Amino acid sequence: MKRKTATKNLISKRKAEHLKIVVEKDVISRQPTLLNDIKLIHQALPELDFEQIDISSEFFGKPLKAPLMIASMTGGAVMAKKLNRALAEVAAAQGIAFGVGSQRIMLRHPEMTADFAVRKWIGDGVLLGNIGAVQLEEYSPQAISEMVKSIEADGLCIHLNIGQELMQKEGHRRFRGLVENIRKIIEKLDGRVVVKETGAGLSVEALRQLAKCGVKYIDISGAGGTSWTKVEMYRAPDRVLRQTAATFADWGIPSAFSIIAAGRIMGESCKIIASGGLSNGLDIARAIAAGADMGAFARPILVEFMREGKDGAAEFIKIVINELKTAMLLTGTRDISALKRAARVYTGELRQWLTDYKWLIGDEK
């Protein structure tokens, strides 16, 4: 019993530290997203009115007013309940999807369910649960399925965070069998699973492994935004971990490259979410033109919420929507499927990635 409470306290403390560090410290990767290297082509004669722009979309069989999601963040920390409720309300009001943070704490401490149980606040909107891939060896597919049901979520995000685990003293060191464990959960939940990274991106090789598992939703969460190796650097208890985390602070695959690779590898039946350093509606437009179906934000929303409360977070989404529509008018694209075919050029470092990695992504569609 004592050990159980100690684990709960440890997870709560860690989650609270994460929130504080992400808001107060420099946690941004110095590896750029390379989204700036996606140049959308200006159309001076778009033959469209602003009112005609249609950004409606679909996700987990439900309609979205905009192709956006508030990415998985928290649960288990002191302010998590308040944060999850506020973000669920923002998502409901804006007609976008919402994912809660890792529900790991709930599996051992069912009394923590209230932190994540936001169905009441999001109404009919898309709500996703969350668990780490490394936790899947500890819990049966049945237990995970019940965890998802207990918060009335539409599906589950399974996160991959090996860089972060390696920087934590208490983190996992065994990563064999993740693919098979993910496959079992996809089967158990009839495909209602998003496999997501957490800011280090998905490689061509990882995407192919996921495609083989039959994954229908992925979030590439690439490098260029919140760096979890860098976050852990501020928490490191000793010099070895602190220095290692500093060395790997900018580790990862730029978001733009992962988006393009996913678009070419995953096929039509897989929804691709772009996240990791996206900061505005133009980034969302670039990501969709490059191969994504929708975009997600984590840290930018959290920062808005901490500064300006729920209204600030809602305003941030409204700005993103206006910027996305502006980008669509300027590129002469009326709806999301037209935006996916928008004229574009890949330049700079992104072009280099695509050239050097070409033999791997080839002409796969």
Ligand X SMILES: Cc1cc2nc3c(=O)[nH]c(=O)nc-3n(C[C@H](O)[C@H](O)[C@H](O)COP(=O)(O)O)c2cc1C
Binding site for ligand X (CB under 6 A): 18-19, 22, 71-74, 101-102, 130, 157, 159, 196, 198-199, 221, 225-226, 275-277, 297-300, 302
DSSP structural state of residue 272? E
**Measured from the CB atom, is 53 or 223 closer to ligand X?**
223
**Measured from the CB atom, is 220 or 330 closer to ligand X?**
220
**Measured from the CB atom, is 72 or 333 closer to ligand X?**
72
DSSP string, 74-123: --SSTTHHHHHHHHHHHHHHHT-EEE----HHHHH-GGGGGGT--HHHHT
State in angstroms the smallest separation of the CB of 365 from ligand X: 27
State in angstroms the smallest separation of the CB of 45 from ligand X: 35
**Measured from the CB atom, is 179 or 303 closer to ligand X?**
303
State in angstroms the smallest separation of the CB of 75 from ligand X: 7
Residue type at position 32: P
**Measured from the CB atom, is 32 or 199 closer to ligand X?**
199
State in angstroms the smallest separation of the CB of 276 from ligand X: 4
Give the residue carrying structure tokens 């190796």: 229
Reading the block at residue 271, the tokens are 């929804």
State in angstroms the smallest separation of the CB of 326 from ligand X: 21
Phi-psi region of 268 (alpha: psi -120 to 50; beta: other; left: phi over 0): alpha
Residue type at position 358: K
Give the nearest residue (CB) to ligand X: 225
8 A C-beta contact, residue 313 and residue 86: yes
SS3 label, residue 167:
helix
**Measured from the CB atom, is 30 or 42 closer to ligand X?**
30
DSSP string, 286-346: HHHHHT-SEEEESHHHHHHHHHHHHHHHHHHHHHHHHHHHHHHHHTT--BHHHHTT--EEE
State in angstroms the smallest separation of the CB of 28 from ligand X: 8
